[in-house]
A = this chain, B = another copy of it.
């Protein structure tokens, strides 16, 4: 965003398709929360939790639903989905620097690489042999794209990310800084106690509209490909092992680890810190809550969890001991039931 830019409420209402109630000429130059906003800001009310903040806001205008708009005296942009409208508007106020098209003088680009004239290759980026970079794509400062990899249209590789050789990234793919795409899978053969490295000769294939967070790692396939389908979003510090397949429109929050050859369905949501063992399948529309340990396939949609709730450490120490006694407790419970049954059969309990 150019900080000097601003928009009238009429312009903003048109952009998001809202009904405008208030001063159409009022100018907006920023976006803020209800409590943080001033007259130059637009804000929004999506989560009912924040409704109490509406009456006190100093925002120049608020995006809200028809029922929330009733009784609100400020400038209102009324529409069915204020959160989605906020998502659209945020882009107006995004100050992420946009490198100019062309190849920076300090970049190191192979003569055999094919870089579209509208693509931007930043300072110190390194582009290997036979790499293809499509129109509108950006490779930021210090990023490395190795031989024969293809980067699709309007994709963006942020500073210091690395894409290994022979990978394929679709259009509008966003790879954040420090992410490593196409590193070797963890493949070794054990030869009388010694680990012999197995060359990882597959690729990583990332389809259109995928977003991958900072310091996430996606390993190349051992033989076939590791594949991330259209519209998948992956947060920071996620590990995707070799030959994993992630179905379209699935969301994976930070710190998840997905072991080799596991297949995750479409429209799934993994919360933070979830771990999946290898060689399992997760059905479509599965939700997994944070830090869950998934040790076998999940065949039906729904929400799944594991883990223990926290307690004070003193209480937890007792609980932890009891957990280890559980099998014995279960047997003692069974013994008691038998004793009671024998008491009862002796006619004494009636």
The interface-forming segment of A5-13, A70-78, A113-121, A247-255 is A247-255
A75 to chain B, nearest CB (A): 19
Residues of chain B lying within 8 A (CB to CB) of residue A346? 348-349
Query: How many whole Å from A109's CB to the nearest CB in chain B?
Result: 10
Contact yes or no, B322 A313, CB < 8 A: no
Tally of chain A residues near chain B (CB < 8 A): 139
Given contacts A275-B290, A311-B304, A340-B340, whether A223 and B141 have CB atoms under 8 Å apart is no
Q: Is the CB of A319 closer than 8 A to any CB of chain B?
A: yes
Q: Does A14 make an interface contact (CB < 8 A)?
A: no
**Contact indicator A144/B142 (Cβ below 8 Å):** yes
**A223 & B293 in contact (Cβ 8 Å cutoff):** no
Q: With A189-B84, A305-B316, A323-B309 in contact, do A165 and B96 touch (Cβ < 8 Å)?
A: yes
Partner of A180, one of B176, B249, B272: B176
CB-based contact A308/B311 at 8 Å = no
Residues of chain B within 8 A of A95, CB atoms compared: 147-148, 165-166, 201
A55 contacts the other chain (CB 8 A): no
Does A237 reach chain B (CB closer than 8 Å)?
A: yes
A297 to chain B, nearest CB (A): 11
Given A160-B162, A180-B236, A304-B316, 18 more A-B residue pairs with CB atoms under 8 Å apart are: A32-B223, A87-B189, A95-B201, A97-B165, A160-B160, A183-B214, A194-B231, A214-B217, A235-B241, A271-B277, A277-B290, A304-B311, A306-B310, A306-B311, A307-B316, A325-B330, A339-B344, A340-B340
* Interface of A toward B, CB cutoff 8 Å: 31-33, 36, 83-84, 86-88, 90-91, 93-97, 104, 106, 108, 122-124, 126, 128-129, 140-142, 144, 146-148, 158-160, 162, 164-166, 174, 176-178, 180, 183-184, 186-189, 191, 193-201, 209, 211, 213-215, 217, 219, 222-224, 231, 233, 235-237, 239, 241, 249, 251, 253-255, 257, 259, 267, 271-273, 275, 277, 287-295, 302-327, 329-330, 332-333, 336-337, 339-340, 342-344, 346, 348-349
Report, nearest first, the 3 A-B pairs whose CB atoms are least far apart.
Answer: A94-B199, A305-B316, A303-B313
